[in-house]
Structure 1
C-alpha cells in the first residue's frame, strides 16, 4: 500500500493518477485534510483518509497499513510551522510502521538551510534521523508558474514581459515530476538516494519565439520589473540561480523531460 499526503493538491492528484495507471495492483491511499474534496478519487478505488499535518492522530490513522509514503511538502511557507508539520508526518510514519518514505524537497536543500530551503533542509535531516529508508526528490520550480493560459495575453499584446535578464530557467512540469515520484515509489532501488530534478533549460527569448511560431503573430520579449510573486522567481533566474542542469529527471522518466514547446501547446489549450 502506498500513501500520498496532500493528495488533494495539484501535484498530489497527478501522483495518484500515475500510481493508478502504472501500478494498478498496488492499493493507493490519499491522505487529505478534507476527504470530501476527493470523492472523484474514491470513485476510482483510492482509499481517501483524513490526514492533517496539524493533527498527529489523523496522520497515524491515515498511514495505518501503508508500506510506502510520499510526503509532499506542506504549502505553508512559514519555516517553523512547515518543519513542525513535516516532523509530525515523519513521526506518524514511524509509529504506523511505514517501511520507506519519499519526500518532495527542493533543489539545493542538501547544500544548506538558508532562505526558502530552510524547511526542506531541516526535513531532509529529520528523515535521515528517523531511520526510515528514504528517497529525496529535489524539485525545481514548476514550469506552470511561467507557462500557463495567461500567455494568451502576451500573444494578444505582442509582448512578453519578463525580468530574467535573458538567463535560463530549469523548470519542470508537475506531470513529469509526478511520473518521477510514482517511479521511485514502486521499488527499492531508489532508496537511500537523492535526485536533483531539472527540466530542459529555457529562456524568455525561447518562450517568445515559441509563442510567435504557434500563434502566427510576432511576440517580442520585453525586459521589465515583474510584480511578486512571479517577479521574485524571475529575480532568482536573473541572478543565474535557476540554471543548474542534471540528468536525474530524464533517468527517472526514461525519456527527456517535456520540452518548452510541448508545454506551451498544452498551456494554450
Structure 2
C-alpha cells in the first residue's frame, strides 16, 4: 500500500445504503484500499472479486466487532436496522468504541434526514432519537480520542420507504383510503432515491479520502436529500396515479394508525409493537423535520436527483 493511500471501511456493507455505497465506491477508489464488512459476506462476492477485502461482522455480536475494523483509518458506519431507541443507540456506541480502539481515525455516520436543517439537534420522531444520540456520542468522542474526527451524513427519507408513512399502501393491491395520523397537508418530505444516497455518499467519501485536509465537512453534519418537496397528499396522489385508482387520506389518531393489521406487525421488533410510537413521524412532518431540500446531493451526483414519481413508477420498486 503506498504511503498516502488509506483504508476505507463500510459497515454494514450489504444492506440498501451499504450495498449502493459499495457499488459506487468500487469505480472511485482503488479496491485494495476498501474493506467491506457484513453479516453475510457472500452478498459481497462481487466486491471481493474486484479486489476489495470482505470481512464478516454483526452489530449484535461483540466478538466479531472487536476485530472488524482493524487496519481501517476511515469508516462509513451505517445505522443498525431497528425501530428501537435504546438498543439501537447502544449498538452504535459499541461499534464506534471498537472502531476507535482498532485505530479508526475518522467516522462517517449514516444518520437519518429528520430533525430539520443540518444544525438541528431536536426531533419528535421516535425513529430519529437513536440517531441524535449517536451524533452526540461522536461529538463527545472528539474529546475522548485525540486526533479523531467525524462527519454525520443525514440520509434523507427514501422514496422507496413511502409505505412506512402510508400505512403500507401497495399500488399493486390498492385500498381506497389511507389511514394515517396526518391530514396530508404540508410541510412535506424531500424524498430521495436510495440508490442515489449510496452514490452521493460514495462521492463524499472519495472527496474526503483524496483530500482529507481540505475536507470542509469535518466534525459537521450534512444532509443528502432530494431537491423537490412533496406533501403527504401529493405523495399519495402520485401513488394513486400509479395504482390507477382514486385514493384518499383519512386522518386517524396515533393509536388507530398503529392498530391497523398491516402496521403493527411491520413495526414489531424483538416482541414489542412500535406501530403507535412510529406515528410520531407524522408530528415530525407537521413540524417540517423532513421538508428541508439540501442542494448537496445534486452537487455530489452532478445532476438533478431522481424525482419520487420516476423512482416509484419503476416496477422493481415493489420488491420491498
Bin of the TM-score, shorter chain as denominator length? 0.7 to 0.9
Task: State yes or no: 1:239 paired with 2:257.
Answer: no
The number of residues matched between the two structures is 264
Change (3 A) 1:162 1:247: farther
- Following superposition, the deviation at residue 11 of structure 1 comes to 1.7
Are positions 1:6 and 2:12 aligned together? yes
1:177, CA displacement in angstroms?
Answer: 1.2
Q: Where in structure 2 are there 5+ consecutive unaligned residues?
A: 1-6, 143-147, 268-274
Counterparts of 1:140 and 1:105, CA distance in 2? 9
Equivalent-residue separation in structure 1 for 2:106 and 2:157 (angstroms)? 25
2:285–2:291 CA contact under 8 A, matched in 1 = no
Deviations 1:126-181 (A, max 9, x none): 21222221111112322111279932334xx7x57464423322222211211221
User: Do the aligned partners of 2:139 and 2:219 also contact (CA within 8 Å) in 1?
Assistant: no
- Match for 1:121 among 128, 132, 139? 132
Deviation at 1:60, TM superposition (A): 3.7
Query: Quick one: which of 222, 226, 236 aligns to 1:195?
Result: 222
Is 1:111 equivalent to 2:121 in the alignment?
yes
**Residues 250, 233 of structure 1: CA spacing in aligned structure 2 closer, same or farther, 3 A cutoff?**
farther
- Structure 2 residue aligned with 1:101: 107
Deviation (angstroms), 1:104? 1.0
Structure 1 position 49, deviation (Å): 0.7
d(CA) in 2 for partners of 1:173, 1:81: 28
Measure how far apart 1:119 and its partner are: 1.6
Rounded Cα–Cα distance in structure 1 between residues aligned with 2:49 and 2:92? 29
- CA drift of 1:84 comes to 1.9
- Alpha-carbon offset, residue 237 of structure 1: 6.8
The aligned runs of 1:51-200 (5 Å cut-off) are: 51-106=57-112, 107-108=114-115, 110-112=120-122, 115-131=126-142, 132-146=148-162, 150-154=170-174, 159=176, 161=178, 163=180, 164-167=182-185, 168-186=188-206, 187=208, 188=212, 189=215, 190-199=217-226, 200=228
Residues 92 and 268 of structure 1: is their aligned pair in 2 closer, same or farther, counting only changes over 3 Å?
closer
Does residue 45 of the first structure (1) align with residue 51 of the second (2)?
yes
- Asked if 1:19 corresponds to 2:25, the answer is yes
Question: Over residues 63-114 of structure 1, what are the superposed CA-to-partner deviations in whole Å (9 max), with x where a residue is unaligned?
Answer: 1111210010111333222222111211122122122110011232941366
Question: Taking structure 1 as reference, are residues 236 and 61 closer, same or farther at Cα in structure 2, changes over 3 Å only?
Answer: same
Pick closer, same or farther for the CA change 1:143–1:152 going to 2, 3 Å: same
RMSD: 3.1
